[in-house]
Amino acid sequence: MTYQEGTIDSAFAALADPTRRAVFEAVIAEAQPVGMLASNFTVSRPAISQHLKVLSDAGLVDRQRVGTRNIYFARREGLQALRDYLNGFWDQALASYETGLDKWLKENKA
């Protein structure tokens, strides 16, 4: 299984924090400015900005300037890298299951 180690590592590290994960989920649901995001959390607006910076550094979110605001949105590429990485485990698990089942069936023929 190959992947960009820094990208995957930083993405998992970024998503390990529950508040940051919730911020990420909010940005996935709807592109939003910091103020709108902060209104949905009990942490301060600067804390939300810090969470967004970590998510951005991990390649999971990006921002677009609209007037005086930065609108944050999920990056498809960041999500795809995580998905590809996790799908590799799924494929391995299915192959392992199939091999184990075949072996069991051969050993336990009626």
From the list 48, 51, 68, the residue with the least C-alpha distance to 15 is: 51
Q: Which CATH number fits domain 5-103: 2.40.340.10, 1.20.1090.10, 1.10.10.10, 3.30.40.10?
A: 1.10.10.10
Q: Retrieve residue 1's tokens.
A: 């299984």
pLDDT value of residue 37: 95
CA gap 28, 38 in Å, rounded? 15
Domain ranges of the chain: 5-103
In the predicted model, what is the mean pLDDT of residues 6-33?
Answer: 93
pLDDT value of residue 6: 59
* Burial call 35-59: b when 16+ CB within 10 Å, e when fewer: eebbeeeeeeeeebeebbebbbebb
Quote the mean pLDDT of the chain: 88
Specify the higher pLDDT residue, 18 or 109.
Answer: 18
Whole-model pTM over 0.85: no
For the segment 28-52, what is each residue's pLDDT rounded down to a tens digit? 999 999 999 999 999 999 999 999 9
pLDDT value of residue 12: 92
Beta pairing, strands 32-33 & 61-66: unpaired
From the list 59, 74, 75, the residue with the least C-alpha distance to 28 is: 74
pLDDT value of residue 3: 41
